[in-house]
Amino acid sequence: MAVKVAPVVAEEGDRLRRLEEVVEVPLDRLVPSPDQPRSEVDASADQELLESIRAYGVLTPIQIRPVEEGKYEVVAGERRWRACALLGKPSIPALVRRKDRDRAAAEALIDNVVRKDLSALEEAKAYQALIERYGFQQSELAERLGCHKSRISKALSILKLPETILNVFFGPESHMTAAHAEALLPLAHDEPRLHAIARRASKESWTRDRIRQEIDRKPRINEGAQAVRFVERGRGGDRGFMLTILFHSNKPHEIPMIEEALKQASERIQEFRDKLT
């Protein structure tokens, strides 16, 4: 498609609303999309883009749509727009599209997913916005995005976790992934234990399997003499627990078991304390 160079002025507004064409748009006429899914900036990737535009210009026009008088919303290509602004360029080639908000939001997401992977949290929140704000069904959204419906449902599942957990797991310094977050889902309705395990998992860089093991772990009970008896009260220990320890000085082999029981008791007490605060 040939690039037509023409300034965007008020009298051209009606023509640009009727046609889809590539024009040179002044940067000060552009506004960001509220549906932009990316929340964090990859400095190294943006530096590469900056150098590319400095050397070769904008090779792929951004996509915009008319909004208010004389202004255009960036549907796809916000990073190219920002890079041009940093380079002091007065305008940028843009494809003017006439489309409604749901199509614009979908294309903004597609552009970001295709050009550079979103984090699992960014992707999930983008899907959620498209479904809740614009009435998409998961199957319809999957068709628009060219992916299987299971990808969308799986991505959305992590949003069942509290926002505080998601912010820890997907923060800039975290090495946790969507798989780690999914492993925590069985605890979604047991927030004290969820927070306790999530904190340790993030701090100690646990694997997904390590998280699952911790969730499934049951207190050890010594058979026979039963040096340690750990009994949970209520469903899943929601009413507390009873811990009985019989220490025999002539049975040093029981010490590790007792230490483990005390550690577990301390962790459960911390969980109950967190629930009260």
- Quote the CA–CA distance of 277 and 274 in Å, as a whole number: 5
Average pLDDT of every residue of the chain: 76
Flag whether pLDDT at 121 surpasses 50: yes
Query: Using 50, 70 and 90 to split pLDDT, how confident is the model at 209?
Result: very high
Q: What is the pLDDT of residue 217?
A: 74
Q: What is the pLDDT of residue 236?
A: 52
Structure tokens at 155: 């991505």
C-alpha 168/C-alpha 52 separation (Å) is 34
- Tokens describing residue 272: 């109950």
Q: What is the pLDDT of residue 222?
A: 43
- Helix axes of 120-134 and 138-145: crossing angle, nearest 10 degrees: 120
Instruction: State residue 168's pLDDT score.
Output: 78
pLDDT of residue 165: 84
60-116 pLDDT tens trace: 899 888 887 788 988 888 889 999 999 999 999 998 877 666 666 666 666 666 555
Encoded amino acid at 127, one letter: Y
For residues 232 and 261, the answer to whether their CB atoms sit within 8 Å is: no
Whole-angstrom distance, CA of residue 239 vs CA of residue 119: 38
CA distance 110 to 242: 54
Lowest model confidence (mean pLDDT) among 104-108, 127-131, 245-249: 104-108
Active site includes 260?
no
E-assigned strand segments in the chain: 22-26, 30-31, 62-66, 72-76, 91-96, 228-232, 241-245
What's the token pair of residue 138?
A: 């998961």
Residue 11: per-residue pLDDT: 45
DSSP classification of residue 250: T
Element (DSSP H or E) covering residue 245? strand 241-245
Q: Which pair of tokens denotes residue 151? A: 């990808």
The more confident residue out of 182 and 251 is: 182
CA 276, CA 134: separation in Å to the nearest integer? 39
Cα–Cα dist 152/136, whole Å: 12
Which residue among the candidates 73, 78, 123, 182 is catalytic per the annotation? 78
> Is 218 in contact with 247 (CB distance < 8 Å)?
no
Domain ranges of the chain: 10-104, 119-160, 164-169+182-215, 218-276
Give the CATH fold of the 10-104 domain: 3.90.1530
